[in-house]
Amino acid sequence: MSASKLKLGVLVSGRGTNLQAILDGCARGEIPAEVTVVISNRPGVPALDRAQKAGVPALTIPHARYGKWPECRAAYERDLVRSLTEWGVQLVVCAGYDRLAGETLLDAFRGRIINIHPSLLPSFPGLHAQADALAYGVKVTGATVFFVDESLDGGPIIAQDTVRVEEGDTVESLSARILEVEHRLLPLAITLIAQRRAVLEGRRVRILDKSGGAS
């Protein structure tokens, strides 16, 4: 592993298509980072197979074995943090990870956890963003990458991109187009962080151009 590349730990819970976009970008040299470990809180998900095929260590830490959620979150996250630390992770990437980060994880990786959400935050946070966008009647939605904090999808925004809502869209059709944007946006955000061009300043993230000035 290269000492100059940002070391990523990717948290997953499902199919792993965003994970695949990261793995592919790293393999092509487009993302100046490397995935050192992939951790799932759910056994047997396709994302773990994607990691193994790429030669990346794939671990399962099932949150369910710790007891009732969210009471068990601290115990679960202690083991999660231990594994991330053992693998030398510098940036935690939530890619289809279905648990809200708690105090234990946030304290260990404050300002070093990112997530992606299928809406233009702060609009439509939560689990049903695409359905909520359709129900509200917006003409444009999109995807957002943000630094994770204690709020629900409310952390400082790193990058956003738009998707037009078409007449006759369903949750499935809109979700598919947003997912295509996510596959570009998440690698972009990781690249900005790896290049130290995404500077977290309180509530805002300042994006520097390649010369180091604000873009």
Residues with catalytic function: 117
Closest CA to 178 of 186, 168, 190, 189: 186
Distinct helix (H) and strand (E) counts, the chain: 6, 9
How many residues belong to the chain? 215
State how far the Cα of 26 lies from the Cα of 29, in Å rounded to an integer. Answer: 5
CB 86 within 8 A of CB 59: no
Closest CA to 177 of 168, 29, 155: 168
* Pairing status of strand 157-164 against strand 198-201: unpaired
Q: Helices 46-53 & 17-27, crossing angle to 10 degrees?
A: 10
